Chains A and B, each alone.
Chain A
């Protein structure tokens, strides 16, 4: 091409120029991030196999224990005990909490931090594809990929943990499906939190521009967000229900708080002060200092005119809560990714 072929109006030329097709970024992204993506696939795949191997007998045992009648028979008790014995190191959901954080830290954070740290952004951003489109394509492709993988894994987790949040009368350590360590592993929680971790990582990488500090920052911010959601936000998604005395609180509800009133005024919180407790001395010295409210002083205080209030989130709100949390995490992730693209666009060399 020579100068003579140049049109007089370069703007016209710009308009005619067909951009490099978006789909070309799939191969580019795969080549650059295959190790991270294979790592995620291997990690989730190995855990999925384990969950399947441990989960099938667990579900079989659970189904037979639920189906057994009458529940008090020796045969049924034996089935309950067998179910109880199948508890394992994943039962409480703690360990799997690290997965979204790890995916965010090791796929999201290096995405731009490595380009900035090694200077390869000077290569990438001067290619014909254009830097904004490059950033959009990469972030979108990887976000969709890790979220889809997490979604599939989350479906498996939902199935695996179903017995733990199921029938309260059976052997396993039962809990409400709204419990913090399980709520974000099941349903939409797992993919939504994975996407959020990825988006936090991508933005941290672009802001900090160094891989290791970006990974550390991602983990810190992610853990902070998880604690904020579990400790402060989630309980307010819908107004808790109220129950007085021992009526009507379902077994697998999430108890938000309990307090006692008398004559319309708050008397005390969870546990009565000695002056009130003295109204209801323990029936025998063997019962210990207080016993539990349900067994010892509770019914007695109710007879004395006190009222126990329980505010709770019923387990039936699991899916509304999942949609609310999944929704705001999706919005947050989209904002973080948009901010990252904006920074790529704005960032001077």
Chain B
């Protein structure tokens, strides 16, 4: 099964194409890193995949052919948007209540236990938590929905190194222990080295490179994901792979 499948996908804002002619297949069971410089179209692609925005061209399906944004797609995907938006004036317990109410599945014991582990008090208002705690809360709420695909948009951009490490550890645990497929965007390449097994490189609204990290490294003779991405972006090859 492919967790995300796009063909000829494009998104235009006014006259500019934020994403153009994007065709890709992301197989299940991977932590997929979506990398590229700012403005490459990463958020646009993720928003299309989770059904927040509608395509200007082409189509995108998720979780084995479900139309993105359809009830079945929403049911199986948990999305943590950039800057991890939460209702800041609500208490942590209210955020749990709301997320549980808005979904068919919600693993309340997991959410409670995880937040206790993180030392996040249920009575605290979400807005009073540290940046790292807010990100962890948003991630916990997403994982408690027991999704098959977890989509994260720049999850660690605003976090300090320790919070980054903890956050990525939670993501990796979910991926390995529970078999959740993960799609995350980042322009911080070092964070992805440890976790990503599949890579999609975007620049200027187009897919430049897509495939399993090991295969790509071997094929291009690069020692690390970071080196590979940097080389590719510097060379700025206009070729579209796959």
Contact = CB atoms under 8 A, between A and B. Distances in A.
A123 B81 contact: yes
Interface residues of A, number: 35
B52 A20 contact: no
A64 interface: no
Given A14-B70, A17-B72, A128-B74, A122 B79 contact: yes
Contacts of B94: 31
Contact of B102 (A14, A20, A119, A346): A20
A10 interface: yes
Interface in A10-34: 10, 13-14, 17-20, 24-25, 27-28, 31-32
Nearest to A18: B104
A2 interface: yes
A32 B87 CA distance: 8
B87 A134 contact: no
15 contacts: A2-B179, A3-B64, A13-B72, A17-B104, A19-B71, A31-B97, A35-B89, A118-B85, A120-B87, A123-B138, A124-B102, A126-B52, A126-B74, A134-B102, A349-B52
Nearest to B69: A131
Nearest to B100: A24
A318 interface: no
A11 to B, nearest CB: 8
B83 A126 contact: no
B116 interface: no
Contacts of B50: 126
B-side interface mostly: loop
Contacts of B29: 3
B188 interface: no
Contacts of B47: 348-349
Given A25-B101, A127-B103, A130-B71, A122 B81 contact: yes
B97 A27 contact: yes
A271 interface: no
Contacts, number: 107
A10 B1 CA distance: 12
A17 B76 CA distance: 11
Interface residues of B, number: 44
Nearest to A16: B72
Contacts of A2: 179
Contacts of A13: 66, 72
Contacts of A28: 97-98, 101-102
A294 interface: no
A128 B66 contact: no
B74 A127 contact: yes
Contacts of B52: 122, 125-126, 348-349
A130 B74 CA distance: 7
B53 A128 contact: no
Contact of A14 (B66, B97, B101): B66
B56 to A, nearest CB: 9
B72 A129 contact: no
A348 B79 contact: no
B65 A17 contact: no
Given A2-B179, A119-B83, A123-B138, 17 more contacts: A6-B1, A6-B63, A17-B104, A24-B101, A27-B101, A28-B98, A28-B101, A32-B87, A118-B85, A126-B79, A126-B81, A127-B102, A128-B75, A129-B101, A129-B103, A130-B71, A348-B53
A156 B82 CA distance: 49
Interface string B142-155: 00011010000000
Nearest to B56: A348
A19 B101 CA distance: 12
Most chain B CB atoms below 10 A, which of A3, A20, A124: A3
Contacts of B70: 14
A200 to B, nearest CB: 24
A349 B85 CA distance: 13
A118 B90 contact: no
A26 to B, nearest CB: 9
Interface in A115-150: 118-130, 134
Given A125-B52, A130-B74, A20 B81 contact: no
A120 B79 CA distance: 12
B28 interface: yes
B99 interface: yes
B145 A10 contact: no
B102 A24 contact: yes
Given A32-B90, A120-B86, A128 B102 contact: yes
Given A10-B64, A32-B98, A349-B47, A122 B85 contact: yes
